[in-house]
Structure 1
Amino acid sequence: MADEDWDVDGGESSNFDEDMAAAWEAELANEAEADLDPSNMTQSAAGSERILNQDEIDSLLGFSLEDEDDGKGSGIRSIINSAHVSYERLPMLEVVFDRLVRLLTTSLRNFTSDNVEVSLDSIASMRFGDYLNSIPLPAILAVFRARQLDNYGLVTVDSNLIYSIVDVLLGGRRGTAAMRVEGRPYTTIERMLVTRLVEVILADAKKAFNPLTEVDFDLDRIETNPRFAAIAQPANAAILVRLRVDMEDRGGRCELMLPYATLEPIRKMLLQNFMGEKFGNDNIWEGHLATEIWTAPTNVRVVMDEFEQPLGRMMSLEVGDTLLMNVGQNSKVSLRCGDIYLTEGQIGRIGKKVAVRVEAPLEGVAKKRLVESKI
């Protein structure tokens, strides 16, 4: 009986194990089918991650119409573009163009006899080739030459400002927008009026640079095709200044392009900081420096004659030896400060002291002696 009972219990335990294994296999199969179901995958993904819409994708990548208009980028596009154009900042250049805006506002009011407001939109660095490709046509491009800097620059006037200037100068009505006639080249009258506008801008640009350095901007030529206005290599860096001109309900944009090669001769001046309109001049320090210079002690030597002698003779001089000089009673002596020749005079005596009477101005005689030494 014990053996039979053992056989029954062993059979029951084996059947129970087989049932448990079958149940586990069925449960695993159901879980695998649930994971492979696409609807379940979408629901689980939606629960864990949020899908971006088109506006959020554009903002992430930096593609926005507002950024295009402002000339600023954002997102990934801003990071990419920042590696292309990275140049040093020129603090004094901002002061020069602020001064240009103030001068240009007054000049254009006198030029158009209208209420004109000029504002500075932006100052940016970019490649010259990228700027030529971004110019909206039709437009007029004026190439000018900076005489003292021995290089060129570019003034671009867009179509809105061209038609507004023509309308104002030829007596158009106020309160109506300037008419734009697309699909035709600019007439001779329009080109001449824009040329006068560019001359006014260049004249004010010269005045704006005057406190810093003297620069003459001469108009070289007028172009309507950007390909003929290539004043630098496409990869060269340049400064782009965007100006906005508003005449009541009319106006447009004017852009000033200066390659870095043009500004290179005055780069050190443009790198300095400033204080107010006088570009760093300190009147108190200048007055103190002038006072100290005028009161500084100076040693003046009177040289009667100069001659050359062999070193052996000078080494053999003894007490009582005489050196003869080519100086007479009425000969003139020279006055020097260190090694610098100042002037000449006549030697004499006042009481028990030897005196020298200055007989020529310092500047004239010094120049004459410098010319004689060069000859």
Structure 2
Amino acid sequence: MNLSRRNSYHNGLLYAGFNQDQGCFACGMENGFRIYNTNPVKERERQDFDGGVAYVEMLFRCNYLALIGGGDKPMYPANQVVIWDDLKKAPVIQMDFNKDVRAVKLRRGRIVVLFDNSVRVYTFTEKPQQLTVFETSHNPKGLCASCPNSDNSLLVFPSRKFGNVEVVNLANTEVAPLVIHAHKTTLACLSLNPSGTLLATASEKGTLVRVFDTMSGAQLHELRRGANNADVYCINFNVDSTLLCLSSDHGTLHVFALQRPKDKKRPSLAASVGQVVKYFGSTFSTIKLQIPGGARCICAFGSDRNTIVAICADGSYYKYIFDQDGKCSRDTFSQYLEMTDDK
């Protein structure tokens, strides 16, 4: 959630994003960065700078972070990626480019750098070496997802044709990428499930989310957020890929059940609430939550069973509990930006 030009709360927040397993989230601030535990919410680390950080990428819970400067007084230029070692409290790698960097993805052994029209993959070494380059359509959001599973080296990003997604195996880049025809309009959000077997996408219209098999490219699900256009901020799967959540600029969170036709013995939330409503062949969400005040947020499933958390641009944190009947209630509210690491 990049807030560099869109945060009206004047709380210093420039960016918020989860780590690979959503167990932590990082915040870029006008004066440094902060790291929080997601559930229960707790500040774990705070680094104060004399300038702003507009992007923070964690590598699970290890000491390495990728930083990009931003805000009114950037700590680093927009065309530079800094790998920060939080044990040393200092930068250990600096990567300079001739154009602005939109995003960075980290995985063990690789640094993936996103630009407006390309993706570059580097070794995660003291002196990173470029391994490969992929061209993309115009991608100012830096859309990209890397499989968090160390046994799966899939990387997904917008293809050169608007609305398409390329699926690349970084362990064998000589194999031609799989191109998935996801949408007819520009992509707005994409996400991989924890094992890298499923890809979820939303376009700039934001009415539909489609879920694909990353091996074959086959469409498995079409999920309807609503009939009116929306800007989808975030999509995430739960740990066993039976549920999917998303947030949008309508100030709502949606939870969808991903039924498995071949696994009839396994109960799903959708099966429990009765017949799933269909609208032009797409599935509606089984749970819809309204964020108080309609604040912009990112969402993920909590570590507790049947919970969902929202990290909001106004500094608020919400945790909700839902049951197998689709009923939902708020369990926790906090102001995470007001926390300190000794609380």
TM-score by length of 2: 0.22
Greater Rg by CA: 1
Q: Structure 1 length as normaliser, TM-score?
A: 0.21
Judging by fraction of residues, say which structure has more helix.
1
Q: Which has the higher strand share?
A: 2
Q: Return the structure number with greater relative CO, CA threshold 8 A, min gap 6.
A: 1
